[in-house]
Copies of this chain bind each other. A is one copy, B any other.
Amino acid sequence: MTLNKDLRIGRHAILLLLSDQPAEQMKKLEQSNWKGCVGKVGSMDAHKVVAAIETAAKKNGIIQTDVYRESHALYHAIIEALHGVTRGQVQLGSILRTVGLTFAVLRGNPYINEQEGEWIAVSLYGTIGAPVKGSEHETIGLGINHI
């Protein structure tokens, strides 16, 4: 069941966001049999962050639109990632803060054992703070789920 060191899905998902060329990085990953996408979202509404990631994942064919188990896997990965971003209450505008985030969704098998099948990682990186330009610090989140 051991993680394959070269296939660490979470590490890849975060490096994508911290890279200066996320789109190019994504292409390289696709050549190694990963599926994935990157995007941006800024909002005071947590549900808009969720929606932006779900939409991007569906539009890019990372998850199947009409199979609930895939949406379910993605949803929980997103919420787990948001825990890292929000650190306590999964709330933004309702406690007067806003986020500006890049996100990545990555899909593939990070384990040596093929039976482990596919997993999904959602990574978030950006800033969180008051709805005042510059009154913000960095934030990160990672959610991982079997799919």
Contacts and interface: CB of A to CB of B under 8 A. Distances in A.
B1 A138 contact: no
A88 B88 contact: yes
Interface stretch (A22-30, A32-40, A76-84): A76-84
B130 A94 contact: no
The complex is assembled from copies of this chain, and their number is 6
Given A11-B138, A67-B1, A95 B90 contact: yes
A127 B1 CA distance: 13
Provide the main secondary structure of the chain A interface.
mixed
Interface of A: 1-3, 8-11, 14-15, 18, 45-47, 50-51, 54, 66-69, 71-73, 75-76, 79-80, 82-91, 93-97, 110-111, 113, 115-117, 119, 121, 123, 125, 127, 129-130, 132-146
Contact of A1 (B47, B66, B87, B91): B66
A123 B138 CA distance: 11
Contacts of A134: 1-3, 68, 111
